[in-house]
Amino acid sequence: MGEKCRILYCNCAHARVVPDEVKNAVLDKLCETDADISWQAVSDLCEMVARRDPALKNLRADDGNLKIAACFPRAVKWLFASSGVPLDPERTQICNMREQSAGEIMQALLSDDITPNVPEGTGKAPAEVVAESEGNA
């Protein structure tokens, strides 16, 4: 069994790209769980990056594994990297609330095991990666 993970939940309050039913169910389940977990909710990771919020540095787990319930893994990775606090690809798992069900997300978040899914990146913004994949770059 792996070491305990910290959990970071993004409410995606401004972009509103995550389905309300998924993000609300995940947040409700985190609040209701009696499991011995450490978790933190933020209003919007994208906004924190845009405002250059110094609190972003405190969100990254320098001393352990981190699981993040947010958006697309590549976007979350880029947000942290662009803020000067890159995620450790071996100690980070990102659950995609845009594509996964609340049940799948909670199963991953409450598991002691971590499945890294933050690949070494290109250093490009998500829009640049999309443009290249569509042959527009």
Q: Over the stretch 89-116, which tens digit does the pLDDT of each residue have?
A: 888 999 999 999 999 999 999 988 888 7
Q: How far apart are CA 65 and CA 63, in angstroms?
A: 7
Q: How far apart are CA 136 and CA 97, in angstroms?
A: 28
Containing H/E element for 70?
strand 65-70
Q: Provide mean pLDDT across the span 75-98.
A: 90
In this structure, the chain runs to a length of 137
Containing H/E element for 81?
helix 73-82
pLDDT exceeds cutoff 80 at 132: no
Q: Over the stretch 4-44, which tens digit does the pLDDT of each residue have?
A: 788 999 999 887 789 999 999 999 999 998 778 889 999 99
Which structural domain, as residue segments, surrounds residue 29? 5-133
Q: How far apart are CA 28 and CA 131, in angstroms?
A: 36
Count structural domains, the chain: 1
